[in-house]
Amino acid sequence: MPDIDFQQLSTVQNATQPKPRTIASAATIAPDTCLSFVSGTAAVVNITPPVSGFHILFLWPLAAFTTTTAGNISAALTAAIGAPVILFYNPVTGKYHPAEIPVAA
């Protein structure tokens, strides 16, 4: 996605924005909308940044995938089904910093 399309990553969306997509978990994933559903249980090592500047990604797990620190993700985590994972991208370090939101009991 070119940087000119950065609005597709905005947390404020309207009906003309792309709908969230489902992407399969893999060693490298490439979300291109602010919210993406993630299927599969493969470990995610790298996320291809859709734009070059700071942005936030929301990943909604449809299966319990994991992340590792071997690539551009700063912390390992196990994403629980239905518990959104928020990732903040730091363009200075080129790393995503995850924050998992616990599911209410």
Mean pLDDT of 16-30: 91
Residue boundaries of the structural domains of the chain: 34-92
Q: Return the pLDDT at 46.
A: 98
b/e 66-84 (16+ beta carbons within 10 angstroms → b): ebeeebbbeeebebbeebe
Q: Return the pLDDT at 87.
A: 96
Residues 28-69 pLDDT 10s: 999 988 899 999 999 999 999 988 899 999 999 999 999 999
Q: Return the pLDDT at 15.
A: 75
- Is the pLDDT at 20 greater than 80? The verdict is yes
Helix (H) or strand (E) holding 47: strand 46-47
Dist. CA 55–CA 34, nearest whole Å: 9
Residues 65-94 pLDDT 10s: 999 999 999 999 999 998 899 999 999 999
Q: Which amino acid is at 57?
A: L
Dist. CA 71–CA 93, nearest whole Å: 12
Q: Return the pLDDT at 16.
A: 75
As given in the structure block, the two tokens for residue 81 are 């089904």
Q: Return the pLDDT at 2.
A: 57
DSSP conformational letter for 3: G
